[in-house]
Amino acid sequence: MPEIVSETETTSPGKPRDKTRARPPVRAEEYVAVYDTTLRDGSQSEEVLFSLEDKLRIARRLDLLGVDYIEGGWPGANPKDQAFFARARELRLENSRLVAFGSTRRARVPAEQDSVLRALLEAATPVITVFGKTWTLHVTRALGIGLQENLDLIFDSIRYLKARTDCVFFDAEHFFDGYKADPDYAVKALIAARDAGANGLILCDTNGGTLPSEVGRIVRQLALPAHLLGIHCHNDSGLAVANTLAAVEAGATHIQGTINGLGERCGNADLTSIIPNLLLKMGRVIRMGNQGMAGLTGVSRFVDEMCNRSPHKNQPFVGASAFAHKGGVHVSAVLKDPVTYEHIPPEAVGARRRILLSEQAGRSNLLYKLADFGLADINPEDPRLLTVLNEIKELEFRGYQFDAAEASFELLLLRALGRLPIYFTDQGFRVIDSRSVGREGERMVNAEATVRLTVGGKSVHVIDEGDGPVDALYRVVRRALDWYYPSINSVSLVDYKVRILPASSGGRKGTGAMVRVLIEWEDGVRNWGTVGVSERIIEASYMAILDALIFKLHKDGAPPAS
């Protein structure tokens, strides 16, 4: 097998070294560079379509997080990426270096005439990454060229770019599959890139089928110098994070991945898991430091927002459930010492501890929530707490769910303790949902809602219309109250979910089944969730709407109407 000889990192003749960020005073094997490819690999996720502005906003957030490299896309591949690199010159990145990505030159086209290489240089980024074939199967079948010609493509492309750019990385595509099929040839591809002046040789598990034990063994067999060795893993076997960490243990000092594991097929290695594992579990040094790591949860949620998708609650480290405790035994132990059921402090990654209320909850859960709601003065032995706990269990048996509707739970607790003002009294509602055909044959939909409330000792009877029954209900309740409580006009509906509950929840099967409505709200200051359960979807929605407005008034400290 050809041997890769250690070399010292060099700078291209006549090109000053990029000094955007100086290396910290640590040993090379301790320092790990973070290379983010969310904007390129991540954008290849199914149903993910970043706009140009999305990409620019994500780049700014990644820079604030402190990653070393931000791969912006493939210049020349599409108009959006072309526009991104033009606009990216205005970003003024403080912590990160922007990277342009592309392929090696085409077969039988000299490097100086190749349009892909020319586009990479025109992007004017301080770093360029090119990928090349290292698996004989791809060389002979996908490219249809000779093995030596492929090595020439790699060498010529990197030498050409390196003479004109300070930093060039080589992504060794399908390296692990290629190494297992023909180790001699896979290593020759790395040697061609190294001899051409590549600053890093990134080993790619492109098909995502390699095991961590294989990654560790192969990386050690290569005996690459630390400053050259990088890793890029896909998650087709659910092992991208594990494979990345195995490569670091074997000597890799450059890791590539995406925020939230975005990427084609099953995604790429998830940086929101890799970064805290490297810092907190493996003792590696990352430029961002612990303060930057505390921004992980915020960046994770931001990228999901740009993808127009809901965050995965069970995502390690940054998911909403990562530090959520539900079982009474767990909560009792966590209150005594969080280490009993938490592997790291949630604050380290910008997350927070959550204590959930459910039929599995015990007194410890309730006491924690009391403190969370500013009710720590309640006597832990107060018999009303046991009554509330039993009520919660009964409500959950009937189909209520308070995990995502803490506002409804807080109101339940406040009512039981006699600490919730009576802002109004519900006297009933009616909804008429009609459909008709207009003169021109168009379908016309109309919803009308009527509500009766008692506010400040006065009966209020209001009728209003909406785009649908739920919208009409919300409009009519808000209209009935806004003269007394104008602040409720800032409340808007963010998300609406309906779940058909099984017959075991107390309802019947089919159209008579119980339904649970969960609604998320916001008022420009806070977000909260409310819940309603009934055999009638409109009634369940009405219950959630009333809770939302009462919660708003309570948080605003509004006095009861007089």
Provide φ and ψ at 513, rounded to 5°.
-70, 155
Q: What's the pLDDT at 365?
A: 67
Residue from 224, 204, 221, 219 nearest 132 by CA: 204
Q: What is the CATH number of domain 34-307?
A: 3.20.20.70
Pick the CATH number of 424-484 from 1.10.287, 3.30.160, 1.10.3470, 2.60.40: 3.30.160
Cα-Cα-Cα-Cα torsion 317, 318, 321, 323, nearest 10 degrees, comes to 50
Q: What is the pLDDT of residue 6?
A: 44
Read off the pTM. 0.71
Q: Tell me how far apart the alpha carbons of residues 417 and 384 are, in angstroms, rounded to a whole number.
A: 7
Lowest mean pLDDT among 391-395, 493-497, 515-519: 391-395
How many Cβ atoms sit within 10 Å of the Cβ of residue 106? 17
Q: CATH 3.20.20.70 in the chain, residues?
A: 34-307
Q: Above 60 in pLDDT, residue 423?
A: yes
* pLDDT band, residue 22 (cuts 50/70/90): very low
- Both tokens of residue 219? 């990386």
Quick check: 139 and 152 in contact, CB under 8 A?
no
Q: What angle do CA 216, 220, 225 make, to 5 degrees?
A: 125
Question: Can you say how many angstroms the Cα of residue 362 is from the centroid of all Cα atoms in its chain?
Answer: 31
Please state, in angstroms and rounded to a whole number, the distance separating the CA atoms of residues 425 and 423. Answer: 7
- Taking the C-alpha atoms of residue 104 and residue 161, their distance in angstroms, rounded to an integer, is 10
Can you tell me which residue has the tokens 């309906």? 498
Cβ proximity of 210 and 238 under 8 Å: no
**Alpha carbons 392 and 402: distance in angstroms, whole number:** 9
pLDDT, tens digit (0-9, with 9 covering 90-100), for 524-562: 888 898 999 998 999 999 999 999 999 999 999 999 987
pLDDT exceeds cutoff 60 at 285? yes
Q: pLDDT tier at 223 (50, 70, 90 boundaries)?
A: confident
Selected residue with higher pLDDT from 291 and 42: 42
List the beta bridge partners of residue 499.
516
Confidence band for 17, pLDDT divided at 50, 70 and 90: very low
> In 3D, which of 285, 270, 287 has the Cα closest to residue 95?
287
Q: Is the pLDDT of residue 284 over 70?
A: yes
Mark 498-514 as b/e (b = at least 16 C-beta within 10 Å): eeebeeebebeeeeeeb
* Location of each CATH 3.30.160 domain in the chain: 424-484
